[in-house]
Amino acid sequence: MSKTGARVRAVAAQVVDATVTGGRSLDAALEQHEAEVPANDVALLRMLCFGTIRHYFQLDEWSRKLLDRPLKRKDSVVAALLAVGLYQLTETRIPDHAAVSGTVEAARQLRRPRHAGLLNALLRRFMRESLAELPPGSEAARYNHPDWLIDSLREDWPDDWQAILDANNERAPMWLRVNARRMGVDAYRDALEAAGLESEQGVTGALRLKTPVSVGDLPGFDAGDVSVQDAAAQLAAPWLLEGAEPGRLLDACAAPGGKTAHLLELAEPGSELVAVDIDPERLSAVDANLARLKLSATVLAGDASKPESWWDGAPFAGILLDAPCSASGVIRRHPDIKLNRRASDIGRLKELQGQILDALWPLLTPGGRLLYVTCSVQSAENDAVTSAFVDRTPDARENDMLPNNNIRDVMRRKACGYQVLPGTAGVDGFYFACLEKVSA
Residue 134 inside a domain? The answer is: no
Final residue of a domain: which of 102, 129, 156?
Answer: 129
Which residues are part of the catalytic machinery?
375
Whether 220 and 279 share a structural domain:
no
pLDDT digits (tens, 9 = 90+) for 145-156: 999 999 999 999
Final residue of a domain: which of 66, 95, 129?
Answer: 129
Whether 334 and 271 share a structural domain:
yes
CB 292 within 8 Å of CB 222 = yes
Whether 73 and 209 share a structural domain:
no
pTM: 0.95
Whether 306 and 361 share a structural domain:
yes
Whether 102 and 206 share a structural domain:
no
CB 291 within 8 Å of CB 223 = no
CATH classification at residue 59? 1.10.940.10
Residue 140 inside a domain? The answer is: no
Whether 384 and 269 share a structural domain:
yes
Residue 119 inside a domain? The answer is: yes
Whether 237 and 214 share a structural domain:
no
Residue 10 inside a domain? The answer is: yes
* Calpha distance 215→14 (Å, rounded): 26
CATH classification at residue 201? 3.30.70.1170
The total number of structural domains in the chain stands at: 3
Question: In percent, how much of the chain has pLDDT > 90?
Answer: 93
Whether 321 and 395 share a structural domain:
yes
Whether 278 and 414 share a structural domain:
yes
CB 223 within 8 Å of CB 169 = no
Find the domain containing 78 and state its range.
3-129
Whether 182 and 105 share a structural domain:
no
pLDDT digits (tens, 9 = 90+) for 107-132: 999 999 999 999 999 999 999 999 99
CATH classification at residue 301? 3.40.50.150
CB 83 within 8 Å of CB 60 = yes
pLDDT digits (tens, 9 = 90+) for 43-74: 999 999 999 999 999 999 999 999 999 999 99
Q: Of 433, 432, 420, nearest to 164 (Cα)?
A: 420
- At 4 the pLDDT is 66
Phi then psi dihedrals of residue 420, to 5 deg: -110, 125
Mean pLDDT, residues 79-92 taken together? 98
pLDDT digits (tens, 9 = 90+) for 258-310: 999 999 999 988 889 999 999 999 999 999 999 999 999 999 999 999 999 99
Mean pLDDT, residues 342-349 taken together? 97
Whether 287 and 182 share a structural domain:
no
Whether 101 and 191 share a structural domain:
no
Final residue of a domain: which of 129, 155, 183?
Answer: 129
Residue 163 inside a domain? The answer is: no
Residue 280 inside a domain? The answer is: yes
